[in-house]
Amino acid sequence: MPRRRRGYPVALMISIDNMNAQIWNIYSESIKSDKKLSDRNEYNFYESIVDEIRPRVKEGIKTVLIASENRNDYENFLEHIRKHQSWLIKGYELNTVSFEYIPHPARNVNEVKEIINKTKFHQSLQKASIEDVQQIMKIVEKRINKPEDIETILFTLKEIEKTVYTNTGHRPEYILMTDAYQRNHRRRINRLLQIAKNKKIKIKIVDNKTVSGKRLSQFGGLLCLLKK
C-alpha cells in the first residue's frame, strides 16, 4: 500500500472548547492530530497552548488557526496573548504570529473533515499564511535596498549549504523557498531542511503561484536570511 504523503508543515490548528483544547498539525497535503490539553485554571490552560505554539514559531510555523463554536473562546485566548504573551503578535518581526478564527469545532477527525469540506477553511488558511509570508518578504525587500544589510541574505543553494553545514559566518535564521524549487532540488533540499531543522533554523515553503512566490522566484526561488 503506498505511503500517504504528508507534505511540508504550513500551520497549526487549535480547537478550543471552554477549558479543553485539541492540537492539529497542518501540512501541505495532510492534517495530523497532536496533543490534547485541559486545565481548570484559565491562565495555566492558555499558557499550555502557548507552550505548544512556541516551538513551532522557532521552526518557522507562524500561522495559527483557532477553531471553536464559541467566538468567546477565541477572543479570550487572544486577550490572554495581548496581556501575557504579546511577543507573539507584536514582537520581533520574524517571530510574529498570524491568528485566524474558524467558527467550528475541531475536536476530532470527523469535525476536522467537516471543516475542510463545508467551511472556508482553505481561504482562512491561505489568508493567514499569505500575511505571514508577506511580512517576511517585506524584511527581504528592506535588506535588499540597504547596502549594509544585503550581505545578510544568501541567494544560492551552494552558499546556504556551506553556511548551514559548516557554521561559518553569520548564523542562518530563515530559509525561504518556493514549492517549485523544493520539487526541482528535492534530494539536496531534503538534506538541507533536515539539518536546518535540527539547528532550529526557521523554514518557510511558499506557493510559487502567489505574489510572494513569484517575487521569490525572481531571486531563483531560494533565499536565506542571516541573523543580523
Which grid cell sits at 9? Answer: 508543515
pLDDT tens, position by position, 13-25: 999 999 999 999 9
The verdict on residue 1 lying in a domain is no
DSSP code at position 18: T
Question: What average pLDDT does this structure show over 28-55?
Answer: 93
d(CA 14, CA 34): 10
Asked whether residue 112 falls in the same domain as residue 195, the answer is no
- Answer with the one of 103, 132, 161 that is the final residue of a domain: 132
Asked whether residue 204 falls in the same domain as residue 161, the answer is yes
- Answer with the one of 78, 102, 132 that is the final residue of a domain: 132
pLDDT at res. 5 = 66
Asked whether residue 128 falls in the same domain as residue 36, the answer is yes
The answer on pLDDT for 90 being more than 90 is: no
CB proximity list for 96: less than 8 A, separation 6 or greater: 62, 88, 89, 90, 135
pLDDT at res. 63 = 87
Whole-structure pTM value: 0.74
* Residues spanned by the domain of 155: 146-226
